[in-house]
Amino acid sequence: MSRGVYIIGSGEAKYGELWDRSLREIAVEAGLKAVESAGIRTKDLGAIYMGNSLGGDISMQEHLSALMSDHAGIASEFVPSVRVEASTASGAAAFREAYLGIKSGEYEIAMVGGAEKMTELYGSEIIDITSSIIDREWEAFTGATPAALAAISARKYMADFNVPREILAHISVNDHANASLNENAHFRNKITLEQALNATPIAEPLNLMDCAPLSDGASSLILASENYVKEHGIEGVKIMGSAMSQGEFALHSRKSLYTVEPTRIAAETALKQAGIGIKDISMVEIHDSYSIYGLMALEDLGFAKKGNAREIVENGIGIDSNLPVNPSGGLKAKGFPYGASGVGQIVEAYNQLKNKAGKRQVKNAKYAMTHSQAGSGAASIVHILGVE
Amino acid sequence: MSGIVSYGSYIPKYRVKPDEIARVWGEDPDNIKNGIFILSKSVPSPDEDTATISVEAARNALKRGGMSGQEIGSIYVGSESHPYAVKPTATIVSAAIGADFKMFAADYEFACKAGTAGMQNVMGMVDAGMIKYGMAIGADTSQGAPGDVLEYSASAGGTAMIIGREKVAAEIKSTLSVTSDTPDFWRREGQPYPTHGERFTGEPAYFRHVTNAAKMMMERMQTKPEDYDYAVFHQPNGKFPTRAAKVLGFQEKQYKEGLLTPVIGNTYSASMMTGLSAILDEAKPGDRILAVSFGSGAGSDAFHIEVTEEIEELHKRNVTTVRKMLEDVKFVDYAIYAKFKKKIVFGEEVE
Amino acid sequence: MGELSRMWREMPSRYRMEGRKCENCSRVYFPPRDICPVCHRDSIGKMKPVDIAGNGEIISYTVVHETPPAFIRQKPYVLAIIKLDEGPMITGQIVDSEPEEIKMGSRVKSVFRRISEDGKSGVIHYGYKFTLEK
């Protein structure tokens, strides 16, 4: 018999360029904050799931499950620990594994960590390494980078739907505005539309302000079973829907350059599990590693028809709008530590639903949707959280 | 009789003018233009080398001949700028054209005549019945030290000749070589740029070998300069081949078609072969061609060639001619040229 | 660090664009696939090598300014998704052209170029790129 699963605590290390902090330090900080916030002790943990994308390439450190467990002082409890990798959706994938572990009845409490240290390398080497998230043999080898593929999608999208650069820029402007209210965000400066439009080109038509930064960061959540929550009288946030869908790896293998079919399928599935409609969503955290992916996500998640995301954007996506998008600051401004972001989005949703989001609190937040995308859209993970 | 069954060339798209090079090194560009008669030279892209140029030339030759790579029984690539000191360019070409596992292949080096030495080698194999068709390629991305006079001429290009006994478009009626140990130009192992003997490269080297090889060939074939429709010589610059032609008694109309150095520079191993390729683009059945290469060190290979009716079949194929490659160009300045030619070096870790 | 076998085994596809054809449904795949994603198990043992001519059309493209190490001398360079005449779409660099000359729908043909190298003493990796068809 399946059981309900709840989030009962969250913790986060600040996102940004953390020159003086190591991968293990930030991972442990987020994890222990989450444990503290949940009011549990580490000996209560049934399992640890670590989301990380590029630790092996950037820090030459795999086996983050052991690193996290040991340095959080949990090794003496001999708790099972595993690292989950699904590229830029690693964090969300780790969260989903923890959810499934509890839902199955195997564990009562699990810790999810997402950590990434993106700034250990400098120069163009990091561009090569981040290109591990796309097909090395048939995309990266030929000169493709994650930004280049997003730009190829953007150019086609803009041409087919006659969408100007301004619409893309709005996604980034909104992220920066929200991040200015988030003390854990990488960038806390607001940007104007002009600044967003006139930044240095990265991969045309995308410029620096269309691209999420290389951030260090770690986020963590504690999940608990329905039994545990009831027994201890904890008011958790319920995981109402959790879905992942995997499609073609390389962008050139897909039917459309601007439809991420896995996003559409995962959203549909998650909404069905939650028993709610897309209009019931109070806020959404979308995977806007590139501004174009933000527009594509709004459409593929079901908020707009294909090519119509501009209507949502033009109607406003700020914290006080009908559809607050990325109140955390999103990948562009809260920051983009690959394996942490998927957890970070859920940390934001959790805090919003717990009414603990401070200045960026979305009013009457009841249902939150989070969307994490792997690579150029090979896979998507959608979660729906709610308070009853 | 064996001969050229098909041919193909490739010249990179970029060009730099002597004015640009002279501007950087404080020389008088008119001196260069008048002195060595070079008006521009080809520049390879950063992603081009002797292997890529050889492959493009080989593919053009196969396409023009309507042939597949599997019909090629041997590949010899002559160059003095093979991308590897040890590891053949010929293997890269064979893989890129889809040649058979069972085949003859090697790289040659004899300064600027390694390509024509390959032609002679393939002819011998064809005539001996070892192979049906073989390919000889002359290709280079030649090096000239910054500021050296060679920098005005050292360029890039390649030509592939497919040689066989069937469907011959240009019969090679005879070939001969002259060889002597003459240190006119060399590059020691591990050195990035060649060294040359300046004026010593003229009389005792280029002229002695080229004119003697040409005379010997005419003697052997009992021909006179006026018996040839075309004459083509190795072209280290625009001046030498013109003077050699005049000394031998050839007229401008005979050598102008094959004289490419004034616009593409010295393509080294590809120089005479690309001139021959340009001539074959225009030649008519019955035309006679005298072709003489020169390799420093030194030696010359002479060929007496007679064009057959098969040439008309080759002209029908939709393959870029040498003249067309001379039209579709982009000029770059010295800085871009230096970047492309990797004269601007940055740390090993970034490349 | 160096990569030998990884590059070597892909040479037929990198050097001369050898793809695969599913003999069950006749669809052509490039890059090569061992299983036809349409026919699934019915394609086992039926994916045969097929030569791709290398001609196609630009579906979309970008001008890349932030480049990986191997492409620094070519910055900015054009990267495109190309629909090959045989059907498949692939990713490739467009060379010998200025970004202004590139259009969606431009016809391109494949050329053989150097892609990257394992440092100054390592092996050189060659493969396909594209130029505008004139």
Q: What integer pLDDT is reported at residue C6 of this predicted model?
A: 87
Q: Where are the domains of chain B?
A: 3-169+311-350, 171-307
Q: Are A177 and A326 contained in the same domain? A: yes
Instruction: For Cα atoms B303, B305, B306, give the angle at the middle one, nearest 5 degrees.
Output: 170
Q: Least CA distance to C66: which residue of chain A?
A: A202
Which candidate in B20, B71, B80, B306 is catalytic? B80
In chain A, the percentage of residues whose pLDDT exceeds 90 is 97
- The better pLDDT of the pair B345, B68 is held by B68
Chain C nearest-CA distance from B293, in A, is: 28
CA distances from residue B152 to A84, B16, B158 in whole angstroms, order as listed: 59, 9, 18
**Contact between chains at B95 and C129 (C-beta distance less than 8 A):** no
Please report whether residue A377 resides in a domain.
yes
Show the tokens assigned to A16. Answer: 């940004």
pLDDT digits (tens, 9 = 90+) for B61-104: 999 999 999 999 999 999 999 999 999 999 999 999 999 999 99
Same domain, A161 and A189: yes
Distance CA A269, CA B331 (A): 57
Please state, in angstroms and as integers, the Cα–Cα distance from residue A3 to each residue in A106, A347, B100, following that order.
Answer: 11, 22, 63
- The total of structural domains in chain A comes to 2
Mean pLDDT of C12-23: 97
Shortest distance, CA C109 to any CA of chain B (angstroms): 12
Chains that touch A (3 or more CB pairs under 8 A): B, C
CATH number, position A103: 3.40.47.10
Q: Chain B within 8 Å of A124 (Cβ-Cβ)?
A: yes
Same domain? For A171 and A190 the reply is yes
pLDDT of residue B351: 38
Q: B349 and chain A: CB distance < 8 Å anywhere?
A: yes
Contact partners for chain C, using 3 or more CB pairs closer than 8 A, are: A, B
Mean pLDDT of B206-225: 98
The reply to whether A232 and A318 lie within a common domain is no
Q: Give residue B67's pLDDT.
A: 97
> Among residues A128, A124, A112, which one has the least CA distance to residue A10?
A112
Give the span between the Cα atoms of B152 and B40, in whole angstroms: 8
A127/C66 Cβ within 8 A: yes
The answer to whether residues A35 and A180 belong to one domain is: no
The distance of A244 to chain C (nearest Cα, Å) reads: 20
Instruction: Please state, in angstroms and rounded to a whole number, the distance separating the CA atoms of residues A267 and C132.
Output: 41
* A85 and A204 belong to one structural domain: no
B328 touches chain A (CB under 8 A): no
B80 in catalytic set: yes
Question: Sign of the C-alpha dihedral, residues C59, C63, C68, C69?
Answer: positive
| Closest alpha carbon to B38 in B132, B136, B153 | B153
Residue of C nearest to A144 (CA): C79
Residue C132 to chain B, least CA–CA distance (Å): 12
- DSSP secondary structure letter of residue C89: E
Tokens of A82: 């595993």
Within 8 A of B47 by CB-CB distance, chain C residues are 74, 95, 113-115, 129
In this prediction, residue B152 has a pLDDT band, given cuts at 50, 70 and 90, of very high
Cβ within 8 Å, pair B96-C96: no
Closest Cβ opposite residue A257 in set C59, C63, C76: C59
Distance CA C27, CA A363 (A): 53
Q: Is B323 on the interface with C (CB under 8 A)?
A: no
Specify the pLDDT at position B198: 87
Q: At what angle do helices A291-300 and A165-179 cross, to 10 degrees?
A: 100
Whether residue A229 is found in the same domain as residue A276: no
Instruction: Look at residue B350 in the predicted model and tell me its pLDDT.
Output: 41
% of chain C at pLDDT higher than 70? 99
Tell me the Cα Rg of chain B: 19
**Superfamily covering domain B3-169+311-350:** Thiolase/Chalcone synthase (3.40.47.10)
- The pLDDT, as a whole number, for residue B347 is 62
At residue A388, the pLDDT reads: 75
With H, G, I as helix, E, B as strand and everything else as coil, classify residue A66: helix
Kindly report the average pLDDT of chain B as a whole number.
95
Per-residue pLDDT band for A188 (boundaries 50, 70, 90) equals very high
Active site residue B196: no
Residue A128 lies in a domain: no
Provide the pLDDT confidence category of residue A1 given band limits of 50, 70 and 90: very low
**Is the predicted pLDDT of residue B348 greater than 90, yes or no?**
no
Distance from CA of C116 to the nearest CA of B (A): 7
In percent, the amount of chain A with pLDDT more than 70 equals 99
User: A81 and A170, same structural domain?
Assistant: no
Chain B residues inside the 8 Å CB shell of A124: 350
Instruction: Say if residue A184's pLDDT is above 70.
Output: yes
Q: Specify the CATH superfamily of domain B171-307.
A: Thiolase/Chalcone synthase (3.40.47.10)
CA distances for A9 relative to A13, A26, A81, angstroms: 14, 17, 19
Answer whether residue A188 is part of any domain.
Answer: yes
**Identity of the residue in C70, C96, C126 whose CB atom sits nearest the CB atom of B351:** C70
Tokens, residue C100: 């202004």
Residues A178 and A292 in one domain: yes
Indicate whether A200 and A103 sit together in one domain: no
Please determine, for residue A2, whether its predicted confidence score (pLDDT) is greater than 80. no
- Choose the weakest-confidence range: B80-84, B293-297, C68-72: C68-72
Single out the catalytic residue among B48, B82, B112, B209. B112
Contacts of C95 in chain B (CB under 8 A): 45, 47
- Asked if residue A218 lies in contact with residue A115, where contact means CB atoms within 8 angstroms, the answer is yes
Residue of chain A whose alpha carbon sits nearest to that of B349? A125
For chain C, what is the mean pLDDT?
Answer: 95
Tell whether A228 and A244 lie within a shared domain.
Answer: no
Residue B332 in contact with partner chain C when CB distance is under 8 A = no
How far are the Cα atoms of A174, A280, B190, B351, C134 from residue B348, in angstroms, in the given order? 41, 56, 17, 6, 36
List CB contacts (< 8 A) between A123 and chain B. 349-350
How many cross-chain Cβ pairs, B to C, lie less than 8 Å apart? 70
Q: Which residue of C has its CA nearest to A211?
A: C66
Among B48, B87, B346, beta carbon nearest to C113: B48
Residue A79 lies in a domain: yes
Mean pLDDT of the region A141-164? 98
Are the beta carbons of B144 and B256 closer than 8 angstroms?
no
Q: Hey, are the CB atoms on C113 and B45 less than 8 Å from each other?
A: yes
In a domain, A127, yes or no: no
Taking Cα atoms as reference points, which of A246, A300, A298, A290 lies closest to residue A96?
A246
DSSP class of residue A38?
Answer: H
Q: How many CB pairs under 8 A join A and B?
A: 4
- Mark which of A170, A204, A237 sits at the end of a domain: A237
Interface-testing mutation among A152, A207, A249, with chain C (most C C-beta atoms within 10 A):
A152
Q: How far is B256 from chain C (nearest CA, A)?
A: 27
Give the β-pairing of A216-225 and A109-116. antiparallel
| Residues A321, A282 contacting (CB under 8 angstroms) | no
Binned at pLDDT 50, 70 and 90, residue B1 comes out as confident
Structural domain including A184 reads 133-213+240-386
Q: Where are the alpha helices (DSSP H) in chain C?
A: 5-8, 11-16
- CA B57, distance to chain mean position in Å, is 11
How far is Cα B193 from Cα B144, in angstroms, rounded to an integer? 6
**A-chain residues near B350 (CB < 8 A):** 123-124
- Average pLDDT on A32-40 reads 97
Contacts with A, B 68-127, CB within 8 Å: none
ipTM of the complex: 0.97
Q: Which chains touch B (3 or more CB pairs under 8 A)?
A: A, C
Which of C16, C74, C115 has the CB atom closest to B96's CB atom?
C16
- Identify whether B313 is a catalytic site residue: no
What are the chain C neighbours of B348 within 8 Å (beta carbons)?
Answer: 119-120
Nearest C-alpha of chain A: how many angstroms from B105?
Answer: 29
For residues A162 and A245, state if they share a domain.
yes
Mean pLDDT of B160-179: 98
Domains and CATH numbers, chain C: 53-132 (2.40.50.840)
- Annotated catalytic residue within B196, B209, B234, B304: B234
